[in-house]
């Protein structure tokens, strides 16, 4: 199944300018699988989103079909055919 | 001759260039809004390489290198340049220090000190790093603490001629030395006080909050140390330490720097005291010793009142035959002296807080 990942402007330097990436996943896929597939295509973007232990960075929000993943099952949130994964940096800094 | 000055700030890296160290062209910020706690200019090879630690509050840390003086930057693609192995369970936050060992055969070796407390070794001029497990697995690690800045190895002092010997320092944990190329590490804090501990615990084996160590350029057995309370000298490569603070107006501060070509000469930038972190006497002064710490002379960087202190890596020199002394402050100024601190000009101003400076002739 195809899942679309929408890349924020700040990270498009790590995707060769792509604003979205369509990744192919097997059945019963979860958000982690979508990010793994994105990382396989664009290795540098993964370190921006997750630390080396695989934990989503604190100020990176990832929405699955419009709902922030932390409100659901985090990286174990299921994704389905035609799901849209949107990466949005949170409001932080000064 | 071009002088390159790299200024790491809380919100990015600035590069400044000058032909006379009086007039400087300062770049716009690179790695904007990233904390740049460590930068290095590696001049051991014909082509200088800049190595930068940049950490984004949003997108995490990384290490970047440039072989064209900052026009373009490279970052390891397939794996993060620094990352803790999965079995450690640890998460890399940022580098606080890069060090470039001088012994022959080490020209491509770069060491990085990180938060949390870890030492990393690169064999490809700083592009990618491996954890030095011997130090990470040191039995003392469970008792290392953290200062306000974070739990970091912020000081790496290789021996200039002996690749087996190196000293590292951390807040808090103290000084550790190796004499076998990093296979084993020994706490080496004899004589260094922990004023923040109860009286009968003032001189522990380890646990000191070291702020910076710098090695005398002409006498490799001699080191200068700024502690969290206390300024010390070692004449035995860091095995033991004696106070050299008696003639300073205060023994608190972050930075200490050996002169790059004069034996027994070092610089210090005193802070009022631990609970009043302003420049001593509210004046921006560098103190210079010419007798290995027996006496110190205060040198005004500015005459007016000043409220920005000099952090641990915000003093540096540039390696020129007539060396420059660079002083960065937390209120975003950088000053340069080409006469060992007798007079200063301002190289940059109104920047974010300066965390580190490094300079070189390129």
pLDDT, one tens digit per residue, over B79-92 is 999 999 999 999 99
Q: Which is it for the CA torsion B80, B85, B90, B96, positive or negative?
A: negative
In sequence order, the 6+-apart residues with CB closer than 8 A to the CB of A17 are none
Question: Checking DSSP bridges between strand B345-348 and strand B334-337, what pairing results, if any?
Answer: antiparallel
Q: Verify whether the Cβ–Cβ distance A49 to B59 is below 8 Å.
A: yes
- Closest residue by Cα to residue A89 from A23, A7, A34, A5: A7
Q: Which residues of A touch B58 (CB under 8 A)?
A: 10, 48, 57, 59-60, 89-90, 92-93
Give the pLDDT confidence score for residue B325 in this predicted structure: 98
Under 8 Å CB pairs connecting chains A and B tally to 48
Residue B161 contacts residue B103 (beta carbons within 8 Å): yes
**CA B26: distance to chain centroid?**
22
For chain B, say whether A47 makes contact (Cβ under 8 Å).
yes
Q: Which of residues 21-60 of B touch A (CB under 8 A)?
A: 33, 56-60
Phi, psi of B282 (to 5 degrees): 55, 35
Nearest to B57 among A11, A55, A93 (CB): A93
Give this prediction's pTM.
0.97
Domain range for B293 is: 3-361
**Considering only the top CATH level, what class is A2-89?**
alpha beta
Residues, chain A, total? 94
In sequence order, the 6+-apart residues with CB closer than 8 A to the CB of B240 are B188, B190, B191, B234
The alpha helices in chain B, defined as continuous H runs, are 133-136
Nearest to B57 among A44, A47, A59 (CB): A59
pLDDT band at A92 (very low <50, low <70, confident <90, very high): confident
Structure token pair of residue B209: 């909050």
Q: How far from A64 is each of A3, A7, B91, CA to CA, in Å?
A: 10, 13, 26
- Closest residue by Cα to residue B62 from A4, A57, A85, A26: A57
Q: Which residues of B touch A48 (CB under 8 A)?
A: 56, 58-60
- Closest residue by Cα to residue B298 from B326, B279, B323: B279
Residue B170 contacts residue B153 (beta carbons within 8 Å): yes
- When divided into structural domains, chain B yields a total of 1
Nearest to B83 among A52, A55, A59 (CB): A52
Nearest to B80 among A11, A52, A57 (CB): A52
CATH number at residue B286: 2.130.10.10
Give the pLDDT confidence score for residue B149 in this predicted structure: 84
For chain B, say whether A43 makes contact (Cβ under 8 Å).
yes
CA–CA distance, A27 with A12 (Å, rounded to integer): 28
Give the pLDDT confidence score for residue B160 in this predicted structure: 97
CA–CA distance, B93 with B34 (Å, rounded to integer): 12
**What DSSP letter does each residue of B266-293 carry, written as one string?**
EEEEEEEETTEEEEGGGEEEEEEESSTT
CA–CA distance, B21 with B31 (Å, rounded to integer): 25
Give 3-state DSSP helix, strand, coil % of chain B, rounded to 5: 5, 45, 50
Q: Verify whether the Cβ–Cβ distance A48 to B59 is below 8 Å.
A: yes
Q: How far is A38 from chain B (nearest CA, A)?
A: 13
pLDDT, one tens digit per residue, over B234-280 is 999 999 999 999 999 999 999 999 999 999 999 999 999 888 999 99
- Residue B6: how many CB atoms within 10 A of its CB? 27
Interface test with B, best of A43, A48, A51 (most B CBs within 10 A): A51
How is residue B9 annotated by DSSP?
A: E
**CA A49: distance to chain centroid?**
7
Give the pLDDT confidence score for residue B172 in this predicted structure: 87
Interface test with B, best of A41, A52, A90 (most B CBs within 10 A): A52
Could you report how far apart the first and last alpha carbons of chain B are, in Å?
A: 7
Give the pLDDT confidence score for residue B85 in this predicted structure: 98
Residue A43 contacts residue A21 (beta carbons within 8 Å): no
Residue B290 contacts residue B296 (beta carbons within 8 Å): no
For chain A, say whether B79 makes contact (Cβ under 8 Å).
yes
Predicted ipTM of the assembly: 0.95
Q: Verify whether the Cβ–Cβ distance B58 to A51 is below 8 Å.
A: no
Nearest to B60 among A10, A51, A93 (CB): A51
Q: Taking the domains of chain A in order of start, what are their residue ranges? A: 2-89
Q: How far is A26 from chain B (nearest CA, A)?
A: 24
Give the pLDDT confidence score for residue B201 in this predicted structure: 83
pLDDT, one tens digit per residue, over B163-205 is 999 999 998 899 999 999 999 999 999 999 998 888 878 899 9
Residue B362 contacts residue B43 (beta carbons within 8 Å): yes
Give the Cα-Cα-Cα angle B110, B241, B138 (nearest 5 degrees): 50
Q: Verify whether the Cβ–Cβ distance A89 to B58 is below 8 Å.
A: yes
Structure token pair of residue A30: 């979860």
Give the pLDDT confidence score for residue B135 in this predicted structure: 98
Residue B284 contacts residue B329 (beta carbons within 8 Å): yes
Give the pLDDT confidence score for residue B147 in this predicted structure: 80
Q: Verify whether the Cβ–Cβ distance A47 to B56 is below 8 Å.
A: no
CA–CA distance, B8 with B169 (Å, rounded to integer): 20
Residue B155 contacts residue B170 (beta carbons within 8 Å): yes
- Which parts of B141-222 are beta strand (E)? 152-158, 166-171, 174-178, 186-187, 210-215
Nearest to A57 among B59, B77, B79 (CB): B59
For chain A, say whether B89 makes contact (Cβ under 8 Å).
yes
How is residue A38 annotated by DSSP?
A: H
In sequence order, the 6+-apart residues with CB closer than 8 A to the CB of A27 are A1
Mean pLDDT by 10 residues, chain B (362 residues): 97 98 98 97 97 97 98 97 98 98 96 98 98 98 90 97 97 96 97 88 92 98 97 98 98 98 98 92 97 98 97 97 98 98 98 98 97
Question: Checking DSSP bridges between strand B315-317 and strand B325-328, what pairing results, if any?
Answer: antiparallel
CA–CA distance, A86 with A88 (Å, rounded to integer): 6
Q: How far is A44 from chain B (nearest CA, A)?
A: 6
pLDDT, one tens digit per residue, over A16-66 is 999 999 999 999 999 999 999 999 999 999 999 999 999 999 999 999 999
Nearest to B86 among A10, A48, A53 (CB): A53
Q: Verify whether the Cβ–Cβ distance B78 to A43 is below 8 Å.
A: yes
Give the pLDDT confidence score for residue B199 in this predicted structure: 81
């Amino acid at each position: 199944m195809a899942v679309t990942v929408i890349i924020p402007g700040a990270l498009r330097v790590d995707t060769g300018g792509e604003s979205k990436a369509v990744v192919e996943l097997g059945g019963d896929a979860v958000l982690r699988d979508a990010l793994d597939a994105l990382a396989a295509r664009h290795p540098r973007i993964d370190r921006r989103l997750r630390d080396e232990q695989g934990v989503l960075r604190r100020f990176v929000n990832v929405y699955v079909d419009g709902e922030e993943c932390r409100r659901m099952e985090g990286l174990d949130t299921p994704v389905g055919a035609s799901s849209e994964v949107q990466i949005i940096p949170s409001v932080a800094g000064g | 001759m071009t002088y390159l000055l790299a200024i790491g700030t809380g919100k990015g890296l600035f590069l400044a260039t000058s032909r006379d160290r009086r007039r400087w062209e300062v770049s716009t910020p690179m790695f904007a809004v990233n904390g740049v706690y460590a930068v290095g200019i590696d001049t051991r090879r014909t082509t200088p390489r800049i190595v930068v630690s940049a950490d984004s509050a949003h997108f995490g840390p990384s290490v970047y290198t440039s072989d064209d003086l900052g026009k373009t930057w490279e970052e390891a693609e397939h794996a993060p340049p620094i990352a803790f192995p999965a079995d450690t369970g640890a998460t890399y936050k940022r580098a606080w220090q890069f060090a470039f060992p001088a012994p022959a055969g080490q020209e491509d070796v770069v060491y990085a000190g990180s938060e949390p407390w870890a030492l990393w070794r690169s064999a490809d001029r700083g592009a990618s790093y491996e954890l030095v497990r011997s130090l990470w697995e040191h039995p003392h690690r469970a008792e290392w603490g953290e200062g306000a800045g974070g739990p970091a190895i912020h000081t790496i002092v290789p021996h200039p001629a002996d690749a087996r010997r190196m000293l590292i320092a951390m807040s808090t944990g103290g000084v550790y030395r190796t004499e076998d190329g990093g296979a084993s590490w020994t706490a080496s804090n004899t004589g260094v006080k922990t004023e923040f501990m109860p009286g009968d615990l003032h001189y522990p084996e380890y646990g000191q909050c070291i702020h910076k160590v710098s090695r005398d350029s002409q006498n490799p057995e001699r080191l200068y140390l700024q502690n969290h309370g206390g300024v010390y000298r070692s004449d035995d490569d860091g095995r033991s330490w004696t106070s050299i603070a008696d003639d300073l107006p205060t023994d608190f501060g972050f930075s200490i720097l050996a002169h790059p070509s004069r034996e027994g000469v070092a610089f210090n930038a005193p802070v009022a005291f631990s609970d009043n972190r302003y420049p001593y006497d509210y004046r921006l002064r560098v103190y210079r010793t010419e007798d290995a710490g027996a006496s110190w002379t205060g040198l005004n960087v500015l005459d007016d009142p000043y409220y920005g202190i000099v952090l641990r890596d915000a003093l540096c020199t540039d390696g020129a035959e007539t060396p420059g002394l660079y002083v960065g402050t937390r209120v975003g100024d950088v000053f340069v002296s080409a006469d060992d601190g007798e007079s200063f000009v301002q190289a940059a101003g109104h920047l974010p807080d300066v965390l580190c400076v490094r300079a070189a002739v390129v």
